[in-house]
Structure 1
Amino acid sequence: MSDIDELLQEELKDEEFAKAWEETELEYQIKAMLIAARLEKKMTQKELSVKSGVRQSNISRIEKGVCVPTLTTLNELAKGLGKKLRIELV
């Protein structure tokens, strides 16, 4: 377990923090997956923009967590990364 994971586990013991984390976890997962997939492909935001048709400024805002992308935008980004978007209820 990394230092960050350990810190998160400690912070999640605080009820107020845990509630806030739960409310924003999905947005965090989306931006983390997008960044990881882009870096895995060794692509810049600009390159992903060209391949996906999504403006680079929007990609930046999504990755910074400033905005939450629509499903259509996520699907276009996935295509630009050579991936398929899959959503599951677990």
Structure 2
Amino acid sequence: MKTTKAGVKLDDVKAKLLEDPEFKDEYNKLKPRYDIISQIIEVRKSMKMTQEELAKRAGTRKSNISRLESGDYNPSLDFLIKIANSLGKDVHIDIR
């Protein structure tokens, strides 16, 4: 008996949504922010570090890290640099 997984693939949903010009425009505006957030989460998790540990290293509260990672916070460049440095990383910005 062959089993199949229920649901849809995220990439399929994303491709369908990107067909809408208004959605695509908004997606492109927010993409750099979410790319940075994804990188922060990836590095933090690869270091097996909790949000609370990162907050202590950065001299901020866990709630600030949580809001940053959820996308509910529009961080300043200084805050992003502080977070990156707390992870042993640097921030590099390219204007193209």
TM-score, normalised by the number of residues in structure 1:
0.85
Tell me the residue number matched to 1:13.
19
Identity of aligned residues (%): 36
Q: Offset at 1:7?
A: 2.5
Flag structure 1 segments of 5+ consecutive residues without an equivalent: none
CA RMSD of aligned residues (A): 1.4
Q: Tell me, yes or no, if the aligned pair for 1:31 and 1:63 is still in contact at 8 Å.
A: yes
Larger Rg: 2
Flag structure 2 segments of 5+ consecutive residues without an equivalent: 1-8
Q: Which has the higher helix share?
A: 1
Tell me the residue number matched to 1:66.
72
After TM superposition, the structure 1 = structure 2 runs for residues 1-90 of structure 1, keeping only pairs within 5 Å, are 3-90=9-96
Determine which structure has greater relative contact order: mean sequence separation of CA pairs < 8 Å that are 6+ residues apart, divided by chain length. Answer: 1
TM-score, normalised by the number of residues in structure 2:
0.81
Q: Tell me, yes or no, if the aligned pair for 1:31 and 1:65 is still in contact at 8 Å.
A: yes
Aligned length: 88
Structure 1 stretches (4+) deviating beyond 3 angstroms?
none
